[in-house]
């Protein structure tokens, strides 16, 4: 399932893992070991429309390629992944792992790596030529201590601006704002001229999501990515400027919006109640999907989209991926499943149904229509820069993720950008890797 609604997704930063891995005995397992392919238990939280259909399509292809292997779908519904992760943590602690489990590529996997609960997959990547299939920047951003621990199946984009063209016209705004400065001007124009909500927010995590977009928009990809590296300066004047902009932007949201989730905030745009919403590209499927899970709205009539202000040319990414747990009961089956996940065929079967794009560079472009065609082209555009979504699993540890969320929660109460910056500086220092 994609990262969404109220989901306290975790994120990751590079860490010194050698001693931990050595102590756990997991140091370089790669794809050597048992070859039991009689079964594969695949653990995920893909139970909703689209994602469950995509998983079923991959399952069918897997069973066709591996006729002697029984596929057990161990998906757990509820909580947008939170409930599934709690069940998974218990199983891993009790040394009863599934054969493969879903996780977000990046720092969300850090706790599993430190505990020696998943194996590095570098030999698997070499055996299946995956390092040539995935973008080099993506490989760099999911590599820790020189090792890769998961196989990405898809890519979602976090830095998208959804807007109501009718409200922008009424406010005298000619098009989507391209910079943070233009965004602040547009928000003021909507408030002054239309009386509509300038920017819709939902539950607190959507304010975290907004924060990463404002940081990226003001700092640019390189400086944003540098924030998650050891020794990063969260107290810089550039970060101060970004946080002051964030504080001003938040003034154009409504307090009532905090009682709903991302769907309610996004729906306000297509219902003509709000001008803008910054949300990941899963919003497109919600807007255009059919009832009961979609709104049946029309692109260019009910809504339009653009990169969030200041981020054109940068793809803030997040990815669902699968792992090889240490002690997987059917290791051969797990490796066969990872081969399906990483294959061109598997990704092209899964992603059009899920509403995401493939992580591979060689996917069949003709399968991706509407917004997905745009996303596909942006992901594969020469010169595109990648930035990891801290909220959606890429570049901060679980504790760091929680510390930032706590700081944002306090900020939403006191609206003090200086205190927010001090808290972020403290969080970065206490989580230095």
Q: Residue 4 domain-assigned?
A: no
Tell me the two tokens of residue 262.
Answer: 């991302």
Q: Tell me which residue range forms the domain holding 130.
A: 18-156+320-388
Please, is 307 exposed, middle or buried when counting C-beta atoms within 10 Å of its C-beta (0-12, 13-18, 19+)? buried
Residue 309 pLDDT greater than 90, yes or no: yes
| Pair (33, 71) in one structural domain | yes
Q: Residue 197 domain-assigned?
A: yes
Tell me the two tokens of residue 238.
Answer: 């550039």
Residue 389 pLDDT greater than 70, yes or no: yes
Residue 394 pLDDT greater than 50, yes or no: yes
- In the predicted model, what is the mean pLDDT of residues 251-267? 83
Separation between Cα atoms, residue 433 and residue 431, nearest integer Å: 6
**Predicted local confidence at residue 385, as pLDDT:** 95
**Predicted local confidence at residue 18, as pLDDT:** 34
| Pair (150, 60) in one structural domain | yes
| Pair (236, 180) in one structural domain | yes
| Pair (276, 306) in one structural domain | yes
The DSSP-derived string for 149-181 is: --EE--BEE--EEEE-HHHHHHTT--S---SHH
Q: Residue 131 domain-assigned?
A: yes
Cβ(225)–Cβ(315) below 8 Å: no
Q: What is the pLDDT of residues 195-211, one digit of tens each?
A: 999 999 998 999 999 99
Residue 88 pLDDT greater than 90, yes or no: yes
Question: In the predicted model, what is the mean pLDDT of the chain?
Answer: 89
Say which residue, 412 or 5, is predicted with more confidence: 412
Say which residue, 296 or 33, is predicted with more confidence: 296
- In the predicted model, what is the mean pLDDT of residues 109-135? 95
**Predicted local confidence at residue 24, as pLDDT:** 33
**Predicted local confidence at residue 234, as pLDDT:** 98
Provide the phi-psi class of 93: left if phi over 0, else alpha when psi is between -120 and 50, else beta: alpha
**Predicted local confidence at residue 111, as pLDDT:** 87
Residue 45 pLDDT greater than 50, yes or no: yes
**Low-confidence winner among 146-150, 176-180, 332-336, 400-404 (lowest mean pLDDT):** 400-404
Tell me the two tokens of residue 423.
Answer: 């808290």
**Predicted local confidence at residue 178, as pLDDT:** 98
- In the predicted model, what is the mean pLDDT of residues 188-196? 97
CATH number at residue 279: 3.40.190.10
**Low-confidence winner among 127-141, 241-255, 287-301 (lowest mean pLDDT):** 287-301
Residue 15 pLDDT greater than 70, yes or no: no
| Pair (173, 299) in one structural domain | yes
Residue 373 pLDDT greater than 80, yes or no: yes
Separation between Cα atoms, residue 340 and residue 130, nearest integer Å: 12
**Predicted local confidence at residue 408, as pLDDT:** 97
**Predicted local confidence at residue 294, as pLDDT:** 87
Say which residue, 7 or 348, is predicted with more confidence: 348
Cβ(348)–Cβ(367) below 8 Å: yes
Tell me how many degrees the CA angle 310-314-319 measures, rounded to the nearest 5: 125
Percentage of residues of the chain with pLDDT beyond 70: 90
Q: What is the pLDDT of residues 325-339, one digit of tens each?
A: 999 999 999 999 999
In 3-state terms, the chain is what percent helix, strand and coil (to 5)? 45, 15, 40
Residue 2 pLDDT greater than 70, yes or no: no
Phi, psi dihedral angles at 104 (to 5 degrees): -85, 130
| Pair (111, 80) in one structural domain | yes
Whole-structure pTM value: 0.85
How many structural domains does the chain have? 2
**Predicted local confidence at residue 299, as pLDDT:** 95
**Predicted local confidence at residue 77, as pLDDT:** 85
Residue 258 pLDDT greater than 70, yes or no: no
Q: Residue 13 domain-assigned?
A: no
| Pair (167, 303) in one structural domain | yes
Cβ(406)–Cβ(336) below 8 Å: no
Tell me how many degrees the CA angle 326-329-94 measures, rounded to the nearest 5: 65
| Pair (134, 193) in one structural domain | no
Q: Residue 378 domain-assigned?
A: yes
| Pair (95, 178) in one structural domain | no
Compute CA distances 53 → 46, 50, 290, whole Å: 9, 5, 15
**Predicted local confidence at residue 260, as pLDDT:** 77
| Pair (165, 307) in one structural domain | yes
Residue 183 pLDDT greater than 90, yes or no: yes
Q: Residue 3 domain-assigned?
A: no
Quick one: pLDDT band at residue 7, thresholds 50, 70, 90? very low
Compute CA distances 349 → 123, 288, 344, whole Å: 25, 20, 9
**Predicted local confidence at residue 339, as pLDDT:** 98
Residue 131 pLDDT greater than 50, yes or no: yes
| Pair (63, 169) in one structural domain | no
Separation between Cα atoms, residue 403 and residue 395, nearest integer Å: 14
> Radius of gyration (Cα) for the chain, nearest Å?
21
Tell me the two tokens of residue 208.
Answer: 């975290």
Say which residue, 315 or 48, is predicted with more confidence: 315
**Predicted local confidence at residue 293, as pLDDT:** 80
- In the predicted model, what is the mean pLDDT of residues 258-284? 91
**Predicted local confidence at residue 72, as pLDDT:** 98
Q: Residue 172 domain-assigned?
A: yes
Cβ(57)–Cβ(349) below 8 Å: yes
Q: Residue 5 domain-assigned?
A: no
Say which residue, 30 or 183, is predicted with more confidence: 183
**Sheet of 160-163, strand order:** 197-199, 274-279, 160-163, 304-307
| Pair (59, 119) in one structural domain | yes
**Low-confidence winner among 72-76, 99-103, 155-159, 380-384 (lowest mean pLDDT):** 380-384
Say which residue, 137 or 169, is predicted with more confidence: 169
- In the predicted model, what is the mean pLDDT of residues 14-21? 32
């Amino acid at each position: 399932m994609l990262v969404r609604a109220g989901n306290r997704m975790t994120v990751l930063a590079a860490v010194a893992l050698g001693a931990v891995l050595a102590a756990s005995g997991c140091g370089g397992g790669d794809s050597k070991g048992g070859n039991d392919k009689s079964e594969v238990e695949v653990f995920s939280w893909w139970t909703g429309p689209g994602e469950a259909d995509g998983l079923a399509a991959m399952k069918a292809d897997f069973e066709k390629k591996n006729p002697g292997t029984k596929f057990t779908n161990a998906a757990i519904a509820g909580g947008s992944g939170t409930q599934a992760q709690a069940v998974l943590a218990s199983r891993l602690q009790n040394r009863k792992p599934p054969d493969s489990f879903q996780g977000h590529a990046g720092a969300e996997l850090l706790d599993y790596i430190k505990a020696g609960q998943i194996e590095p997959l570098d030999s698997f990547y070499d055996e299946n030529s995956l390092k040539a299939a995935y973008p080099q920047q993506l490989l760099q951003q999911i590599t820790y201590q020189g090792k890769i621990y998961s196989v990405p199946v898809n890519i979602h984009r976090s830095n998208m601006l959804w807007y109501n063209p009718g409200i922008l016209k009424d406010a005298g705004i000619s098009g989507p704002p391209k910079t943070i400065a233009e965004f602040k001007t547009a928000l003021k124009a909507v408030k002054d001229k239309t009386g509509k909500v300038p920017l819709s927010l939902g539950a607190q995590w959507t304010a975290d999501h907004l924060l990463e977009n404002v940081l990226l928009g003001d700092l640019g990809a390189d400086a944003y990515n540098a924030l998650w590296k050891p020794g990063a300066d969260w107290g810089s004047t550039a970060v101060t400027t970004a946080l002051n902009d964030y504080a001003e932007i938040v003034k154009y949201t409504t307090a009532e919006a905090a009682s709903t989730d991302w769907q309610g905030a996004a729906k306000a745009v297509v219902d003509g109640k709000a001008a803008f919403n910054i949300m990941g590209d899963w919003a497109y499927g919600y807007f255009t999907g059919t009832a009961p899970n979609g709104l049946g709205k029309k692109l260019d009539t009910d809504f339009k989209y653009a990169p969030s202000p200041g981020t054109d040319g940068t793809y803030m990414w997040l990815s669902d991926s699968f792992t090889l747990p240490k002690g997987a009961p059917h290791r051969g089956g797990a490796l066969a499943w990872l081969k399906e996940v990483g294959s061109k065929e598997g990704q092209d079967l899964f992603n059009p149904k899920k509403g995401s794009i493939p992580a591979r560079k060689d996917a069949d472009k003709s399968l991706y229509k509407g917004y997905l065609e745009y996303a596909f082209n942006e992901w594969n555009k020469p010169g595109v820069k990648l930035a990891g979504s801290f909220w959606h699993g890429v570049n901060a540890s679980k504790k760091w993720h929680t510390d930032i969320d706590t700081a944002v929660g306090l900020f939403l109460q006191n609206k003090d950008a200086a205190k927010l910056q001090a808290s972020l500086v403290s969080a970065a220092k206490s989580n230095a890797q």
